[in-house]
Each structure stands twice: as structure tokens, then as C-alpha cells.
């Protein structure tokens, strides 16, 4: 398998998120986000970690982008922090905008194409206090934010993504309460879903109106779902879970409506509809991003309210799993590319996130991570399989570039191609990162002796 096998137009890159890497959580008049507040509450995040400093991308972005350039990575997906550019969600902060100008300019200087995600979960806390995603007024707040970003950065940014994984930030944040803002309840979840789905389409329309030549997409979390047994009950449970986990946001955007026939509880969404909502949910995206890491095995369960389905985790099935307890199942990404490519109206599918968290072995200035390297190779083989079967796959972005703050899991899971010592901020390219570099350069790391690169000592910092 070589880079050239994927074709000249295939997009290669890495992905990140503002809250997970930037740190500087109140620097230069940035406002607090729901994640700043959520992380400040004891017991919400593993080991009571927070992202106040994280990997300090806010200060170290020039060095990080130089490392990225040294690894021949041509595309960088990052998000803009809404509360950094609009601290209260509505008032513009010039210092925040200037930061992203510097990041974009440095990308372009290094020959790296910026891909911007507008919402990667860090809602301004001030807007949360007004109801957040449960308040329909968020459509107006979000529209102003999108318009600001389009007008400010549109001359330099050609690729945009509206939302990151809306099923996750609505489900984990407004139904299960395990992510910010920590709310629970079906009514709260359904309102947040509907408003996010409307914002997804509205954001796309604004970007196209402001920047008609730009490429506009949005991203969806997804997992290949298989039944625990051959029983009819488990098969039906898979259909219900699929409607919730994989179909909830893409189908309204394509004019298919919410998948309520396979998940009846979604019929309750109708009480939140206004006139023309069905039409306003639709937008013709230039591409969609899928974000896949694993498969889920589903079993019927009367004890799970409303959905009557539960996930059987890999540690209960005796299969290999990552630090996140996600099964290593490379075929999942092939199945998801097949599923999303089959939708009529989907022009192109890009893998905007794929990666794995495994323990790293740091020794003598090198970071050995053979399981991550194997994971990347096996998943890429499945992406190539999909492309060779003429599926509309157009790119692959690794999650993630540097180790970072992994939401409710804190700093324990490491997904990065570049290791970060969070005490000193020292960076070291892992062996998986070296492989990705050589793959992108058309070389074969497997034919080389084990090699390493020196740690980037010159950008070391101490925690305050």
C-alpha cells in the first residue's frame, strides 16, 4: 500500500479541536466555554483534569506547524473556539480573531491547507446560561458566528466544516450528562438535536452565500453495528441503534427527515417543529466527514428505556481493544464508507477522524507505539479497499496530531502522532508519526531500520 494508490486528488491530513489543544483558556479576553465550566466541577473529568493549558497550542502553534511541515502533512483540520472570537457568544473579540489569522497564515506559509471546523463542542458559557442548544435562539447566535468567521477568514480558508459530531455533543451533553453541559433528559436531548440539525444546514447555507467557491461539509460520528446474536430481537435492536447513532443527523440534511420509523421516540421531535423546518433541515453539502474508530456489538435490552438496545463492550467479549475500550476492528471504516457513500445526494465522503489510543513507550528520546502504527495501516487498507470499489471517498485525516485533552477522559488516552510531555510541553514524533511521514513522502518505513527523531527541546516549557 502506497500513497499513490489513493490517487493524486486524495486529501491527507490530521485533525484537532480548539478546546483540546489550545490551552490559554482565559488569555486575550477569551470567554469561558461550557467545557471550561464542566471541567472545573470535581469528578466530571477523569483525575479532575482540565484543558486550561493542555498542549498549549495557543503559544506553541508555530513550532507545532513546523513539526507538521517536517512530517509532510499537507492538510490540517482545526476548529475555531467560539468563545475565543466571541467571548459572550455575540460580542466580537479582535484578539481572538487575530490568533486564528496567525494560525492560518502560518499554515499557508508552511504549505499546509487549513480546514476549519466551526463548532467543536466549546459553546460560550454565556449562551449556555440562555439555554444553549435547547434554546431555538441559538440559530441566530450561531448564524452571526458563522458569518463572522466566513467574512474574516474566507479569503484564506477554502474548506469548512459546520459541526463536529452533533450526535455526540447532543447525546453525551444533553441526554446522558457525561459531557458538557452535563444535562440529562429526553426532552432536552430532542430539542438540542433539532436545533443542532437546523444549525448544521443553516451554517452551510451561510458559508455558501458568503463564500460560493468554498468547499462546505460537516462531520458525523459513526460506528459499524452488528448484532450480538442471530436473534430477530438483536437485529431489530441494531436498527434502532443505527437510527440513533448513525442516521440521526445525515438523513434530515438529505431531505429524508428524522429516522423515526426505526426509532419511534424521534416522533416526539415534531413538537419542536416550526413552519418550514423540514425544508430548512436540508443542505446540499459538498462533502461529509465521517469519524469512525470502532464497531459496536448490539444486544436487545428491555432494561434500556426507549431504545431497548445496549452495547456489549469488547472487554465483555474478549477481543482486542484500545485504552478507550473501543474494539480494534478495521473493517468498520470500510462498512461506514460503504453506508454513507450509498446515500443519494452524498457527493463525497472524507474520513475526517480516525485513530487510536494505546500506551506509548518513551525511551531514549523515542516513542514506540506499534499498536497505533498497525491500527493506522490496517484502517488505511480498508479505506483503499473502499476507494478501489469506487466509493466516493476523497480523503483521510488522522486523529490526532499531538496528544491532547481527551474530554471526560482527561489526559490518560493518547491519540497523537506526536507525543507531548504535559509537564514540560516537549514534543517527540512517535514511530507512528514517522511512518505516516514516510508514507506521505512515498517511502516505506517497514523497509527501514527502526529510527527516531530528536525531541523538540527548544519548545519545552514548564507548567505554571
**Of 22, 134, 165, 406, which one is the catalytic site residue?**
165
| CB-based contacts of 232, cutoff 8 Å, min separation 6 | none
The contacts of residue 254 (CB under 8 Å, 6+ apart) are 282, 343, 344, 345, 346
Q: Is the dihedral of CA 445, 446, 451, 454 positive or negative?
A: positive
Tell me the pairing of strands 366-368 and 361-363.
antiparallel
Whether 93 contacts 86, CB under 8 Å: yes
The burial of 458, by beta-carbon neighbours within 10 Å (0-12 exposed, 13-18 middle, 19 or more buried), is given as exposed
Structural contact between residues 322 and 328, judged by C-beta atoms closer than 8 angstroms: yes
Burial class (CB in 10 A: 0-12, 13-18, 19+), 454: exposed
Catalytic pick from 134, 296, 353, 406? 353
Q: What is the three-class DSSP state of 118?
A: strand
363 is catalytic: no
CA distances 195 to 136, 149, 192, Å, are 6, 20, 5
Q: Given the C-alpha cell 459496536, which residue does it identify?
A: 296
| 311 neighbors 237 (Cβ within 8 angstroms) | no
**DSSP conformation letters of 133-155:** GGSTTHHHHHHHHHHHHHHHHTT
| Residues 422 and 55: beta-carbon distance below 8 Å | yes
- 210 annotated active-site: no
Which residues are known to be catalytic?
A: 165, 353
Amino acid at each position: 500500500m502506497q500513497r499513490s494508490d489513493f490517487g493524486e486528488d486524495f486529501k491527507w491530513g490530521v485533525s484537532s479541536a480548539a478546546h483540546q489543544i489550545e490551552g490559554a483558556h482565559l488569555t486575550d479576553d477569551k470567554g469561558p466555554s461550557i467545557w471550561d465550566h464542566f471541567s472545573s466541577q470535581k469528578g466530571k473529568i477523569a483525575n479532575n483534569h482540565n484543558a486550561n493549558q493542555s498542549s498549549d497550542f495557543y503559544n506553541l502553534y508555530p513550532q507545532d506547524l513546523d513539526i507538521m511541515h517536517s512530517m509532510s502533512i499537507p492538510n490540517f483540520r482545526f476548529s475555531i473556539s467560539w468563545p475565543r472570537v466571541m467571548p459572550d457568544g455575540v460580542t466580537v473579540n479582535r484578539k481572538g480573531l487575530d490568533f486564528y489569522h496567525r494560525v492560518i497564515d502560518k499554515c499557508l506559509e508552511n504549505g499546509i491547507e487549513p480546514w476549519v471546523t466551526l463548532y467543536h463542542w466549546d459553546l460560550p458559557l454565556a449562551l449556555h446560561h440562555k439555554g444553549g442548544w435547547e434554546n431555538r435562539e441559538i440559530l441566530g447566535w450561531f448564524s452571526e458566528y458563522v458569518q463572522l468567521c466566513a467574512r474574516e477568514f474566507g479569503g484564506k480558508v477554502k474548506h469548512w466544516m459546520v459541526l463536529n459530531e452533533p450526535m455526540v455533543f447532543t447525546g453525551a451533553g444533553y441526554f446522558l450528562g457525561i459531557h458538557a453541559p452535563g444535562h440529562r433528559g429526553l426532552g432536552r436531548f430532542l430539542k438540542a438535536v433539532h436545533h443542532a440539525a437546523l444549525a448544521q444546514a443553516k451554517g452551510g447555507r451561510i458559508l455558501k452565500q458568503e463564500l460560493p467557491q468554498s468547499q462546505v461539509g460537516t462531520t458525523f460520528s459513526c460506528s459499524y453495528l452488528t448484532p450480538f446474536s442471530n436473534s430477530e430481537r438483536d437485529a431489530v435492536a441494531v436498527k434502532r441503534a443505527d437510527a440513533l447513532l448513525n442516521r440521526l443527523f445525515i438523513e434530515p440534511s438529505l431531505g429524508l427527515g428524522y429516522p423515526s420509523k426505526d426509532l419511534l421516540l424521534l416522533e416526539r421531535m415534531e413538537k419542536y417543529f416550526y413552519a418550514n423546518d423540514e425544508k430548512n433541515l436540508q443542505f446540499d453539502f459538498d462533502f461529509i466527514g465521517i469519524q469512525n474508530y470502532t464497531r459496536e456489538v448490539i444486544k436487545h435490552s428491555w432494561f434500556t428505556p426507549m431504545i431497548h438496545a445496549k452495547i456489549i463492550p469488547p472487554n465483555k467479549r474478549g477481543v482486542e481493544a484500545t485504552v478507550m475500550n473501543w474494539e480494534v476492528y478495521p473493517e468498520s471504516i470500510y462498512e461506514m464508507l460503504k453506508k454513507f457513500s450509498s446515500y443519494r445526494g452524498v457527493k463525497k465522503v472524507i474520513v475526517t477522524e480516525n485513530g487510536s489510543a494505546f500506551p506509548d513507550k518513551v525511551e531514549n528520546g523515542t516513542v514506540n507505539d506499534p499498536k497505533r502504527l498497525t491500527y493506522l495501516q490496517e484502517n488505511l487498507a480498508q479505506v483503499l479497499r473502499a476507494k478501489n470499489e469506487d466509493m466516493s471517498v476523497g480523503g483521510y485525516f488522522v486523529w490526532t496530531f499531538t496528544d491532547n485533552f481527551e474530554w471526560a477522559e482527561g489526559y490518560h488516552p493518547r491519540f497523537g502522532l506526536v507525543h507531548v510531555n504535559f509537564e514540560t510541553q516537549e514534543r517527540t514524533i512517535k514511530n507512528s508519526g514517522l511512518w505516516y511521514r514516510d508514507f506521505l513522502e512515498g517511502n516505506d518505513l517497514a523497509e527501514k531500520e527502526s529510527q527516531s527523531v530528536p525531541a523538540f527541546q527548544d519548545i519545552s516549557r514548564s507548567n505554571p
